[in-house]
Chains A and B, each alone.
Chain A
Amino acid sequence: MRTILQAENLEKVYRVGRVDVPALRGVSLEVQEGEFVAIMGPSGCGKSTLLHLMGGLLTPTSGRIIIDGEDLTAASDAKRTDIRRRKIGFVFQRFNLFPTLTAEGNLRLAESIHNRNGKDDPERRREVLRLLRLEDKMHHKPLELSGGEQQRVALARAVVTRPAIILADEPTGNLDTENSAIVLNMFQELNYRFNQTIVMITHNPEAAAMCKRIVQMRDGQIVEPAQNVRM
């Protein structure tokens, strides 16, 4: 199996005024192709920092991150952005859709950023929309959609460009139980049908239980070795 994400001894220290605040203290993690990994832990344990480092939105104080064979930590800011464009899809807790665009417009925007030549892939778009059951919502703007539908659009936007890995930051954090279950099922579907590699941060044990593996964090460290929940 191919290693999609490799984090080696990651450390991240934030400077707050004159005080150094360590957020990560030597985190190492490997994610294989097709894995669906949950990262759990209490607030402030460094989950989001780890996700932002893995997505190239932050740079570590020390350590190394390799995404699908490309070293994020050795890359310039522009190169990191380029790796993000080609290999990473983000899903956020607050959906983060463009409110002025329709659901389809949000997907097209992702495609236009991903495909610099301006070409899109309508077949792929249709496939993703069908899978996420959004075909009849394509011409709706985010405010015309429920929370669950918005998050499904966000998921569709993340996956439509065929990223090597999806990084999801509390994707069910703003959803009720019913919509959480729908969205989590969609994650599973994507993982199963497209062999999509997913790393998801969550507080929710039920959400984590739907993943193939759970990583527990505390005080900036991984406290439990990778745990296989189910295969």
Chain B
Amino acid sequence: MDNLIISNIRQRPIRSLVSVIGVALGVALVMLFTGLAHGMSNDLQRRSQNVRAEIMFTRPGTMDNLTSSTLNLSTKYVERLQAVDGVEAAVPIGLYVFQGGAGFGFEQLEGVDWPVFSKMNNIQLEDGRAPEAADEVVIDYIKAHNENRKVGDPITLLGNKPYRIVGIFSPESGSRTKMTLSAMQDLLEAPGKCTYILVKAKEGVSEQALAERIDKELPGNKVQFTRDVFTSIESRIPFLGVFLKVLVGLAAVVSALVVMLAMYTTITERTREIGILKAMGASRGYIIGVIEKEAILISALGLVLGFAVAMLGGLLIHRRYNLIFEYSWSWAAAAAAIGLLGGAIGALYPAVRAANLDAVSALSYE
């Protein structure tokens, strides 16, 4: 195409490519980080939706019931909780968090008394049976589908410990892999202990009132509402939102700097051509427009590449590490704005500088 902007980009393919990659990196970073945060958060929320208990009872000092690996709560509290007026059921859960099989991210493993746990949360076994022996686990249908596993398959957990899948349950609820609580107690050498107890209120009983009653009757423990615990990761991890915004800002700065550098060297190289444009009567606006259009075209190419890298990267990371990426339109729009605006702003200074060049000096530039 015989167009000044496109021909300029094609004239220096390596520099143009580096600029495009620079913009793409910023866009891909924004997409991957925000996609990961959303994906993991939404995944957690989806799984928590099927936890029917309203209250979570733990020992004080338990840092976070979703990432805790300690069994420090006596299961004797189950009986005492069941004795509290308004409690329909109390189910002990052991939670162990370990490094993911691919060495990246983490996985959760729950120890449960299957009959009471499944009854409380209305969980069904789609295939197989409940875990009984110490080396037996059940997994949810999502994990079975994603990892192409079925009943009878071996599975390695906690590093290199071999287990066997004996059942597949649905819907997803809490951790995707569950064993018996007694197996977990043996594993962690914590007999008679659990991480927390899920408490379900009787129908018509106020959960607020029940929580106050439990706190009064079993003082010194921590009584939380499950809706507060299983909220989004973004609101649970302090400053995650700020981190994401800083990341977005940095991506914008990187894009702007890359484009600015590329356009700055372009202007220096094309000083004489800018002089010719001026001699031909091109206004400042026209010259700024030419340079800005070139920068925006480079940014647009970077944007496309960045989205492609994010999609492909997310897919590959998901396959390798089982991390979940969910891209939102709002963040995609933000990434697009960053790529385009970053490029446009980055090119502004070189463009204005070019527009202000002295025509006679520019024409005699060697």
Residue among B2, B8, B11, B286 facing the most chain A CB atoms (10 A cut-off): B2
Question: In whole angstroms, how far apart are the Cα atoms of A85 and B4 in the complex?
Answer: 18
Nearest opposing residue in chain B for A58, CB measure: B360
Per-residue 0/1 for A107-137: is the Cβ within 8 Å of any B Cβ (1 yes, 0 no)? 0111001100000000000000000000000
Question: In whole angstroms, how far apart are the Cα atoms of A113 and B4 in the complex?
Answer: 12
Question: In whole angstroms, how far apart are the Cα atoms of A104 and B2 in the complex?
Answer: 8
B46 to chain A, nearest CB (A): 53
Instruction: Decide if A156 is an interface residue (CB 8 Å cutoff).
Output: no
Instruction: Decide if A25 is an interface residue (CB 8 Å cutoff).
Output: no
Given the known interface contacts A96-B363, A98-B276, the answer about A86 and B2 at a Cβ–Cβ threshold of 8 Å is no
B7 to chain A, nearest CB (A): 4
Given the known interface contacts A58-B360, A96-B276, A100-B10, the answer about A88 and B281 at a Cβ–Cβ threshold of 8 Å is yes
Cβ contact within 8 Å between B2 and A85: no
Cβ contact within 8 Å between A81 and B283: yes
Cβ contact within 8 Å between A114 and B7: no
Q: Identify which of B2, B8, B275, B279 contacts A108 (C-beta below 8 A).
A: B2
Contacts of A82 in B (CB 8 A): 281, 283
Cβ contact within 8 Å between A100 and B7: yes
Nearest opposing residue in chain A for B273, CB measure: A98
How many chain A residues sit at the interface, stated as a range, is 20 to 34
Instruction: Decide if A36 is an interface residue (CB 8 Å cutoff).
Output: no
Complex interface residues of chain A between 69 and 106 (CB less than 8 A to chain B): 78, 81-86, 88, 90, 92, 96, 98-102, 104-105
Cβ contact within 8 Å between B281 and A57: no
Cβ contact within 8 Å between B363 and A81: no
B277 to chain A, nearest CB (A): 7
Question: In whole angstroms, how far apart are the Cα atoms of A88 and B278 in the complex?
Answer: 12
A83 to chain B, nearest CB (A): 8
Cβ contact within 8 Å between B4 and A101: yes
Instruction: Decide if B280 is an interface residue (CB 8 Å cutoff).
Output: yes
Given the known interface contacts A100-B8, A102-B2, the answer about A85 and B360 at a Cβ–Cβ threshold of 8 Å is no
Given the known interface contacts A90-B279, A90-B280, A113-B282, the answer about A105 and B2 at a Cβ–Cβ threshold of 8 Å is yes
Instruction: Decide if A162 is an interface residue (CB 8 Å cutoff).
Output: no
Question: In whole angstroms, how far apart are the Cα atoms of A52 and B4 in the complex?
Answer: 25
Instruction: Decide if A41 is an interface residue (CB 8 Å cutoff).
Output: no
Which 7 pairs of residues, A with B, have the shortest CB-CB distance?
A: A85-B281, A105-B2, A100-B7, A84-B281, A57-B359, A90-B279, A100-B11
